[in-house]
Amino acid sequence: MLHIVNKSATERNSLESCLRMATKGSAVLLIEDAVYAATQGSAAAAKVQAAMADVQIYALGPDLDARGMAARVLDGVKVVDYGGFVDLVTEHNSCQSWL
Amino acid sequence: MKIGIMVSEGPYNHQASDTAYLFARTAIEKGHSVPRVFFYHDGVNNSTRLTEPPQDDRNVVNRWSKLAEDHGVDLVVCVAAGLRRGIKDDILAPGFRISGLGQLVEAGIQCDRLVTFGD
Amino acid sequence: MSDMMDDMDGGEGVVKKFMFVNRKAPHGTVYALEGLEVVLISAAFDQDVSMVFTDDGVYELIKGMNTKGIEVKDFSKTYRALEGYDIEKLYVEKESMDARGLTEDDLIVDVTVLDSGEMASLMAEQDVVISF
């Protein structure tokens, strides 16, 4: 299953709730303001790194670029473009947006 | 693959409609189809032709209209959510139509995937 | 008028697992109310519908709301009508209730309480997940 998070982890609890309910082997895609969580030194970095033991974390490249955060992405986080976003949706049997 | 989309926020205030549009356009470019985009909550505000952004900004409404024209995407505005927010037939941009919530459930049933963009 | 979907025939008779995820408190925003409206409509399509309440979404089910003072509709009683629409799978996440000092006795309807792991498994087996 693909989980999509779009809010900053220092503003909302959506990433935290997502990671609590993402089963092992699922994918988590960070888009829009959620991409900050995938960057070095962010408050959520440790949580994201710990989560990568069980789930693959992706971040949307154009959103990282737009926020000046592309060079700070955590090791292990896969950066995808919109084409990669579409592939993630089609490769997984369903998706949940953590609004 | 058939991918349905729900947009739950209006244009400009939130990125949701931009992300949904770029996702939809890319999905179509990659050979998938986007049979329907359903606009709900404040998302109904994406449908008004009265929108006039500054010249140097993207026109969120026109982009959706063009996607509908070029690729036959069915842009459905929820009637109940629309009426609450003053969205009626006579102000709809090209390609949009007003219909019931059943169209969202139907998209969920008939599409292979349903992706929600909101806030 | 749904001719764009004509090439998608075969929808009739299909039963998918739909999960509606409620994570927001009522009244402060419209998501809870408009989300409930979708759930009610979905009943007409004979799908396998589940409603999930996590995070602040559990506040939607609190007993004894009185919205007169804020002059908005009290839709909390509608949750009790869901049974009449054959929507009987209501799930609440235990961790979300615990974090808010709530128990099942505080809720306006009968629900099934699941822990995060059980909720995760339930979510993973759905065909369509819609979040408000």
Looking at the DSSP assignment, which residues form a beta bridge with residue B113?
Answer: B3
3-state secondary structure of C96: helix
| ipTM associated with this complex | 0.97
Residue with tokens 């993402």, as numbered in its chain: A22
Residue with tokens 């209730």, as numbered in its chain: C97
At A52, which amino acid appears? M
- Assign domain A2-97 to a CATH class: alpha beta
Q: Does B67 touch chain C (CB under 8 A)?
A: no
Looking at the DSSP assignment, which residues form a beta bridge with residue B97?
Answer: B76
Q: List, in sequence order, every beta strand (DSSP E) within C1-132.
A: 17-22, 48-53, 89-93, 112-114, 128-131
pLDDT at B32 (0 to 100): 98
Residue of A77, A42, A43, A79 whose CA lies nearest to A60: A79
Q: What is the mean pLDDT of chain C?
A: 92
Confidence of residue B82 (pLDDT cuts 50, 70, 90): very high
Half-sphere exposure of C19 (CA within 13 A, CB side): 23
Nearest neighbour of B113 by CB, restricted to A6, A31, A95: A95
Cα–Cα dist C18/C16, whole Å: 6
Residue with tokens 């519908």, as numbered in its chain: C49
Cβ proximity of C65 and C28 under 8 Å: no
**Separation in Å, CA of C132 to nearest CA in chain B:** 8
Q: Identify all chain C residues contacting A23, using CB atoms and an 8 Å cutoff.
A: 120-121, 124
**Interface contact flag, C45 B109, Cβ < 8 Å:** yes
Cα–Cα dist B100/A72, whole Å: 45
Residue spans of the domains in chain B: they are 3-117
Confidence of residue C13 (pLDDT cuts 50, 70, 90): confident
- With b for 16 or more beta-carbon neighbours within 10 A and e for fewer, the B14-50 pattern comes to bbbbbbbbbbbbbbbeeebbbbbbbbbbbbbbbbbee
Cα–Cα dist C79/A70, whole Å: 45
Q: Flag whether pLDDT at C3 surpasses 70.
A: no
CA angle B63, C131, C100 (to 5 degrees): 140
Q: Flag whether pLDDT at B107 surpasses 50.
A: yes
Interval B39-70: pLDDT, tens = 999 999 999 999 999 999 999 999 999 999 99
Q: What share of chain A in percent tops pLDDT 70?
A: 100
Q: Identify all chain B residues contacting A95, using CB atoms and an 8 Å cutoff.
A: 113-115
B80: how many CB neighbours lie within 10 A of its CB? 16
Interval B10-43: pLDDT, tens = 999 999 999 999 999 999 999 999 999 999 999 9
- Assign domain C16-65+72-131 to a CATH class: alpha beta
Interval C93-123: pLDDT, tens = 999 999 999 999 999 999 999 999 999 999 9
Residue spans of the domains in chain A: they are 2-97
To probe the interface with A, which of B2, B5, B15, B29 has the most A CB atoms within 10 Å? Answer: B15
Name B42's Cβ contacts closer than 8 Å, sequence gap at least 6.
B8, B9, B10, B13, B85
Q: Is B62 left (phi over 0), alpha (psi -120 to 50) or beta?
A: alpha
Tell me, which fold does domain B3-117 have in CATH?
A: Hypothetical Protein Ychn; Chain: A, (3.40.1260)
Cβ proximity of C19 and C119 under 8 Å: no
DSSP string, B39-103: E-GGGGGGGBTT----TTS--HHHHHHHHHHHH--EEEEEHHHHHHTT--GGGBPTTEEEE-THH
Q: Does B39 touch chain C (CB under 8 A)?
A: no
Cα–Cα dist A91/C88, whole Å: 31
Q: Identify all chain C residues contacting B118, using CB atoms and an 8 Å cutoff.
A: 131-132
Residue with tokens 């997940």, as numbered in its chain: C129
User: CA nearest B2 in A: which residue?
Assistant: A90
